[in-house]
Amino acid sequence: MAAIVLSKENFEAEVLNSDIPVLVDFSASWCGPCQMLAPIIEEIADEAGDFKVGKVETSEEMDLAIEYRVSSIPCLVVFKGGKEVKRSVGAIPKQAILELMK
Amino acid sequence: MIYDIIIVGAGPAGLSAGIYALRSGKSALILEAKAYGGQIINTPDIENYPGIKNISGFEFATGLYEQATSLGAEVKYEQVISIEDKGDIKIVGTEENLYECKAVILATGAKNRKLGLEKENELIGYGVSYCATCDGAFYKNKDVAVVGGGNTAIEDALFLTNYCNKVYVIHRRNQFRADPKDVDQLKEKENVEFVMNSTVEKILGDTIVEGIEVKDQNTKEKKTINVSGVFIAVGQEPDNTMFSNLVKLDDSGYIIAKEDCMTNVKGIYTAGDCRTKTVRQLTTAAADGAVAALAACSIID
Ligand SMILES: Cc1cc2nc3c(=O)[nH]c(=O)nc-3n(C[C@H](O)[C@H](O)[C@H](O)COP(=O)(O)OP(=O)(O)OC[C@H]3O[C@@H](n4cnc5c(N)ncnc54)[C@H](O)[C@@H]3O)c2cc1C
């Protein structure tokens, strides 16, 4: 499955009310390290079994970025049961991202 | 399997070395700790690479990566933590594996220098940033500080004046090393304040940056500046400590090597920003990659 495009409208339903953990990638098209991360995030989304993956284009969803206090991107946030449980800033390898989901 | 060449780092130097190694008919494994491309992925505009008028760092890095991998270079995402010299064979260790090869090219580059302050690491992503072009937009109408006096600091400050309410530029000397044209352009801006001869002593705030404490080096007076972001641009530094028992480093931690990219150990070469040199740029990184790879190829049958 491709990564879900998240917005203010669907964030609650897709992330906060999700039964399974959600990996959210806060990124922007202008940011190089985000572009590096994007294909890896899609790959993880395709392969994910017990969690789902969403992405927030912060240039369009600045309110969401502010609400979740994102101020450096790429920023990966893991949500479980509607709460943030882990966060990582910067481009990291696939294995390290999967490690976040454990 | 014994690789001909193992390259440590998939930045411009390491990927260039990979291209030259493969085109010389050798096998190459490139080990990368983070993401391919190295430092250059942080910049939106490259305008000084010969033959390319303008390109983003991401595109440049991806082009290099695709060129190297399409020739057959293998790239694995593992951080190298040890290298053992067994004469004709070298053993390269990562957290996960041990690899054998005939020659090693160290292309570990450089990383952002930190101020070394308490909370600096903790607050990365919560107000502390090393990439103004990535993160500037999150500080719209806010007050921020840029720390540094070189080209990157001045360019960062110029960029941030477009978004932020106010930009403080904190520099420990009374003059900038940056391009005077850029400095003049920055001085024209109404929302910039220069805090010269001053060092940052503390980053304030528990879970999010609330300000900085700066100290005037002449008067020794301290003052607090309220900002929600601190952009640190105090240059780059190498990260070769794990190889210091193998190759000679200079006082700043760079691997000692000349134009020929040879270290003091036979079969171990170095390329790019991680070696002693005066100009640390893409062209010199690519050039080193070629020189180191061809030198390595020449010692393998
Ligand atoms: C913001 C910015 C803008 C710039 N703009 C320009 C420009 O316009 N033009 C220009 O010519 N130059 C520019 N530069 C400089 C240029 O980016 C560098 O000179 C170049 O990237 C050096 O290449 P490198 O391969 O030697 O090192 P790096 O790019 O630093 O790559 C080294 C790689 O090695 C990896 N690594 C390090 N240690 C290990 C280890 N132990 N195991 C595995 N992997 C490891 C790192 O993760 C990194 O990916 C800029 C630099 C910055 C920071």
Q: How far apart are CA B173 and CA B117, in angstroms?
A: 19
Partner residue facing A70 (CB), from B41, B44, B138: B138
- pLDDT, tens digit, 9 for 90 and up, residues B234-287: 999 999 999 999 999 999 999 999 999 999 999 999 999 999 999 999 999 999
Partner residue facing B137 (CB), from A35, A36, A59: A59
Domain ranges of chain A: 4-100
- pLDDT, tens digit, 9 for 90 and up, residues A56-82: 999 999 999 999 999 999 999 999 999
Question: Contact A90/A74 with Cβ under 8 angstroms?
Answer: yes
Q: Which of residues 61-80 of A touch B (CB under 8 A)?
A: 62, 65-66, 69-73, 75
Please give the share of chain B, as a percent, with pLDDT higher than 90. 98
- pLDDT number for residue B164: 98
Hey, what amino acid is at B80? V
- pLDDT number for residue A49: 85
DSSP secondary structure code for residue B12 in this structure: H
What are the φ and ψ backbone dihedral angles of A86, each rounded to 5 degrees? -150, 155
pLDDT (average), residues B180-204: 97
ipTM beyond 0.90? no
| Residues near B219 by beta carbon (within 8 Å), at least 6 away in sequence | none
pLDDT (average), residues B169-179: 96
Question: Contact B145/B129 with Cβ under 8 angstroms?
Answer: no
Best mutation site among B66, B134, B231 for testing chain A: the one with the most A CBs within 10 Å?
A: B134
Distance from CA of B260 to the nearest CA of A (A): 32
Instruction: Outline where DSSP puts E strands in B124-220.
Output: 128-129, 143-147, 166-170, 192-195, 198-204, 211-216
- CB atoms near residue A26 (< 10 Å): 26
CA B271 to ligand 1: nearest atom: 26
Q: Whose CA is closest to B233, among B139, B142, B160, B137? A: B160
Query: What CATH number does the domain located at B2-112+236-298 have?
Result: 3.50.50.60
- Fold exhibited by the domain A4-100: Glutaredoxin (3.40.30)
Pairing outcome for strands B89-94 and B98-106: antiparallel
Q: How far is the CA of A79 from the centre of ligand 1 (A)?
A: 33
Q: Judge whether A31 counts as a catalytic residue.
A: yes
CB contact under 8 A, B129 and A72: yes
Interface A-B: count of C-beta contacts within 8 A: 83
- pLDDT, tens digit, 9 for 90 and up, residues A37-63: 999 999 999 998 899 999 999 999 999
Q: Whose CA is closest to A11, among A2, A20, A22? A: A22
pLDDT at A1 over 90: no
Query: Which residues of chain B are within 8 Å of residue A94 when distances are taken between CB atoms?
Result: 77
Q: How far is the CA of B12 from the centre of ligand 1 (A)?
A: 7
- pLDDT, tens digit, 9 for 90 and up, residues B87-105: 999 999 999 999 999 999 9
Q: How far apart are CA B78 and CA B108, in angstroms?
A: 13
pLDDT (average), residues B120-126: 95
pLDDT (average), residues B109-129: 96
Partner residue facing B58 (CB), from A36, A73, A90: A36
Determine which helix (DSSP H) or strand (DSSP E) holds A43, and give its type and residue range.
helix A32-47
Domain ranges of chain B: 2-112+236-298, 128-232
Residue with tokens 């481009």: A91
Top CATH class of B128-232 equals alpha beta
DSSP string, B45-96: -B--STT-S-B-HHHHHHHHHHHHHHTT-EEE---EEEEEEETTEEEEEESS
Helices vs strands, H then E, count in chain A: 4, 5
pTM for the model: 0.93
Q: How far apart are CA A12 and CA A18, in angstroms?
A: 8
Does B128-232 match B2-112+236-298 at the fold level?
Answer: yes
pLDDT at B301 over 80: no
CB contact under 8 A, A31 and B134: yes
Stated length of chain A: 102
The token duo for A13 is: 């339903």
Question: Contact B139/B156 with Cβ under 8 angstroms?
Answer: no
Give the residue ranges of DSSP H helices in chain B. 12-23, 57-70, 132-135, 151-161, 180-188, 282-299
The token duo for A44 is: 């993880």
SS3 at position A80: strand
Chain mean pLDDT for chain B:
97
Determine the Cα angle at B234 with ends B233 and B238, to 5°.
110
Query: Which residues of chain A are within 8 Å of residue B137 when distances are taken between CB atoms?
Result: 28, 30, 58-59, 62
